[in-house]
Amino acid sequence: MGKKSRLSEPSLLILISLAEKNRHGYAIMEDIEENYDFKIGPGTLYGAISRLEKAGYISVLETEDRKKPYKMTEAGQVYLTEQIREMQKVTSLGMTRLGLI
């Protein structure tokens, strides 16, 4: 894996969903819809899943079922942690400058 590229918002939401437990495609969609009041389409979902899998951040769990569950890899955990820390920095800077904290 080369230089880490920035992933899109749906990719991060998928990683956050998988941080809780292993989920298949439709379960990820439901989880995102429930928690963020944001609907992710199947085309966007699988586009993001393919990118995450290629980057080595998630992997598929082989089953006989047509619904394949995905799990977050260690590299995925490291990446998500970095991204969340970065977001926290931006959030706290923004809040400070707005005088909210």
What ranges in 2-62 are assigned the alpha helix state H? 9-20, 25-36, 42-55
Residues forming beta bridges with residue 71, ordered by sequence position: 59
Which residues in the 62-91 window bind another protein by CB under 8 A? 66-68
- Taking CA atoms, 60 is separated from 14, 80, 85, in Å, by 13, 18, 26
According to CB under 8 A, which one of 4, 9, 21, 26 is a site residue for another protein? Answer: 26
> Should residue 29 be labelled a site residue for another protein when binding is judged by CB under 8 A?
yes
Q: Shortest approach of another protein to residue 87 CB, angstroms? A: 24
Residues lying near another protein in the complex (CB under 8 A) are found at 24-26, 29, 39, 41-47, 49-51, 66-68
